[in-house]
Amino acid sequence: MADSANPFLAPSTLPYQLPPFGEIRNEHYRPAFDAGMAEQLAEITAITADPAEPTVENTLIALERSGQVLQRVATVFFSLSSSDATEFGTALEEELAPLLAAHADAIRLDPALYARIASLQERCDSLDLDPETAYLLERYHTEYTLAGAALSDADKVSLRDLNMRLSTLTTRFEKNLLADTNDLAVVIDDVAELDGLGDGEISAAAGAAAERGLTGKYVITLVLPTSHPYLASLTNRAVRERLLTASRSRGIRGGEHDNRELVLEITRLRARRARLLGFASHAAYVTADETAKSPEAVAGMLDRLAPAAARNARDEQQALQAAVRDSGGDFELAAWDWAFYTEKVRQARYDVDTSAMRPYFELERVLHDGVFYAATRLYGITFTARPDLTAWNPEARVFEVANEDGSPVGLYIADFYTRDSKRGGAWMNALVSQSTLLGTPTIVTNNLNVPKPAAGSPTLLSFDEVTTLFHEFGHALHGLFAQVTYPRFAGTNVYRDFVEFPSQVNEMWMLWPEVLANYARHYRTGESMPQELVDRIRESATFNEGFATSEYLAAALLDQAWHRITADDTVADVAAFEAAALAAVGLDNPVVPTRYASTYFAHTFSGGYDAGYYSYIWSEVLDADTVAWFTENGGLTRANGDRFRDRLLGVGGSGDPLAAYRSFRGRDAHIQPLLDRRGLD
């Protein structure tokens, strides 16, 4: 195959440099990875071999320009490994993981390169740098130092070995999880056992069964979190138990997809690496370069919230047990009963039936008249479908985004339906990241896992799925709006414990009166969601927050517990460690399981949130305080949107995020709005 036939070796000529998915073949990936790594190493050698004194141009900017072929192929390959995995891709990912880890280390641990960066850092005050370039230098010096660039040669050898091994293990964890999630999907023989589900949900279950060759049966595919949205509706208690048991069984059944040994080895190696780098634990290593700065600061917040959350959950549990008795049940409330009886109590107290909301949440209307509409009102941007542009899967749709004056913003790709080739959960990726230095535009993607109904049937979303769509679109806006010089700062390349802030802010528009009235219409009649239902939703805002906060905090604290172990600690039993960690913070209620148990905790064992899952609630402090600002300042206005865009979203990672927040808000964030939102004190 000639080099010219490989679409990764040159920038795409499609609009916005959209990767030419129709031309990409399996045989293109490995040669492009090899060429990309070789090219970047040659570029780094040219930097370090330059006899001239280190300058911003010959060192930092040269670094920023390096590795463009590798960036193109890696972005596409890893986006597809999450969205549309294949056996070929999975095998290649395992093959590439140690090679890419070694490649990254070859750059970050290069002593000559580090010496040039350190020289610039020492002379920083005399270089007359603009703020973004000064911050770029600071970030490179900090990140390379934390990566181990100042270690001895012997320690660097050990570090490289640890990084390669960890890259292999985390890749294997994700592969095992996808396989076990698919294998544990619940097969139902009789449609009567699906009583409580809507027509669309039953249609989706039938479609999932047909795709697996199980004609006449029904398949409920699992979602990433422990709890499944169908648990709130299924009237058959045995089916609910089967569904939750399947969810909690992932990675602990023995055999080739068991993740327990991987959890133990990953945490053990991370602890060893942290000590090598001069930190007491992996949590200390990670938080040192986040806004939190230390595990103790994280614990200070989580430990403050956990007792109130656990107390509220116990109060909720008593109310649910009473509901079981009132409905004639003669059993102790179990974890698989919580969501079902929560809906009964919610309906009794507030006359809110969340399942009755689905007809008002038709996917296309939510997307166009809700998500896009709010963005247009706030930021003046518009969305135009581009059916002439194709993505990686026919279900992934491309939209062109433009400013109010018609100037281009970028492309937005929406891939909303679940399939066996897609990992669980929901996320945003950047396919092309904006940079004025490189002249690159912006392409962002959103992935959800909504069950797909049969052809001709509407896709009716749950309340939580609507929330998720608004959330992920907040990440998309962060990626679309950032206007930076250097690719290092593009889009969502910010501190991990800040990245969730813009996405959580965007959730507020879901129930904002003008937005809700525009999209929440019955898919058959077109009638608006009744105002009294909207009012009752708001009245019940803190209902079940004890459960919601507890199951999240349990996962965040479990993540911290795994990553606060030291290199001298010995952990041999995943279940025992998990139980002890949750008991230590009072979140060991068996009726309120953790959002993710260790063996399917993708965020922390394969997804880049290791020792950082706390970031959702850490960011929520900023989010709740920002919602208060919008409420106080007129809400959905262009002036407010422009301020948020210019001072926060548009900054990307090009400056201190907390300084950007102070510029927007006029002060540091207050925690009280978060406590009020979650019903905590």
Q: What is the 3-state secondary structure (H, E, C) of 275-295?
A: HHCCCCCHHHHHHCCCCCCCH
Question: Which CATH number fits the domain that encloses residue 59?
Answer: 1.20.1050.40
Domain boundary among 103, 126, 149: 149
199 and 124 co-located in one domain: no
Question: What percent of the chain is helix, strand and coil (3-state, nearest 5)?
Answer: 60, 5, 35
Render the burial of 574-583: b for 16+ CB within 10 Å, e for the rest: beebbeebbe
Q: Quick check: helix, strand or coil at residue 226?
A: coil
CA 573 to the chain's CA centroid: 28
Query: Residue 586 and residue 305: Cα distance in Å, rounded?
Result: 11
- Out of 249, 270, 299, a domain closes at 249
Residues marked active site are found at 472
List the domain range (segments joined by +) for residue 225.
186-249
d(CA 556, CA 287): 14
122 plus 212 within the same structural domain:
no
Q: State the pLDDT at residue 4.
A: 66
417 and 506 inside one domain: yes
Residue 63 inside a domain? The answer is yes
- Whichever domain contains 666, its CATH number is 1.10.1370.40
Cβ atoms within 10 Å, residue 520 = 25
484 shares a domain with 382: yes
Asked if 251 and 258 touch (Cβ cutoff 8 Å), the reply is yes
Within 10 angstroms of residue 338's Cβ, the number of other Cβ atoms is 25
Whether 512 is covered by a domain: the verdict is yes
144 & 192 share domain? no
Extract the tokens encoding 646. 């210019």
Quote the mean pLDDT of the chain.
Answer: 96
Structure tokens at 561: 């517990």
> 352 in a domain, yes or no?
no
- Pair 379, 235 in one domain: no
Verify that 93 and 197 share a domain, yes or no: no
Residues 367 and 457 in one domain: yes
Question: How far does Cα 97 stand from its chain's mean position?
Answer: 21
Q: Judge contact between 181 and 222, C-beta under 8 A.
A: yes
Report the number of secondary-structure helices (H) and strands (E) in the chain.
26, 7
Beta pairing, strands 443-450 & 408-417: parallel
The share of the chain scoring above pLDDT 90, in percent, equals 95
130 located within any domain: yes
User: How far is the first Cα of the chain from the last one, in angstroms, to the nearest whole number?
Assistant: 65
**Is 75 among the domain residues?**
yes
Residue 661's nearest CA partner among 651, 675, 671 is 651
pLDDT grade, residue 3 (50/70/90)? low
Between CA 654 and CA 652 the distance in angstroms is 6
Boundary-marking domain end, from 212, 233, 249: 249
What does the CA dihedral 652, 653, 654, 660 come to, rounded to 10 degrees? 80
Q: Is residue 261 part of a domain?
A: no
Residue 447: inside a domain, yes or no? yes
- Using the structure block, give the residue that is written with the tokens 């370039």: 133
* Residues 295 and 306 sit within 8 Å (Cβ to Cβ): no
**Distance between CA 474 and CA 33 in Å, rounded?**
31
What is the C-alpha separation between 655 and 636, in angstroms, rounded?
26
* Integer-rounded Cα radius of gyration of the chain: 25
Q: Is the pLDDT of residue 351 over 90?
A: no
In this structure, the answer to whether residues 422 and 505 fall within a common structural domain is yes
Q: Per the domain annotation, does 298 fall within a domain?
A: no
Q: Is the dihedral of CA 197, 203, 209, 212 positive or negative?
A: negative
Task: Note whether 142 and 245 are same-domain residues.
Answer: no
pLDDT of residue 59: 98
Residues in the chain: 681
Task: Look up tokens 């068991």; give the residue.
Answer: 258
- Structure tokens given for 365: 């209307």
Position 465 confidence tier, pLDDT thresholds 50, 70, 90: very high
pLDDT digits (tens, 9 = 90+) for 78-126: 999 999 999 999 999 999 999 999 999 999 999 999 999 999 999 999 9
Number of domains observed in the structure of the chain: 3
Q: How far apart are CA 79 and CA 18, in angstroms?
A: 13
Q: Looking at the structure, tell me whether residues 486 and 381 fall in a common domain.
A: yes
Domain match, 381 and 436 both: yes
pLDDT digits (tens, 9 = 90+) for 216-269: 999 999 999 999 999 999 999 999 999 999 999 999 999 999 999 999 999 999
pLDDT per residue as tens digits for the range 536-554:
888 888 999 999 999 999 9
Q: pLDDT tens for residues 150-167?
A: 999 999 999 999 999 999
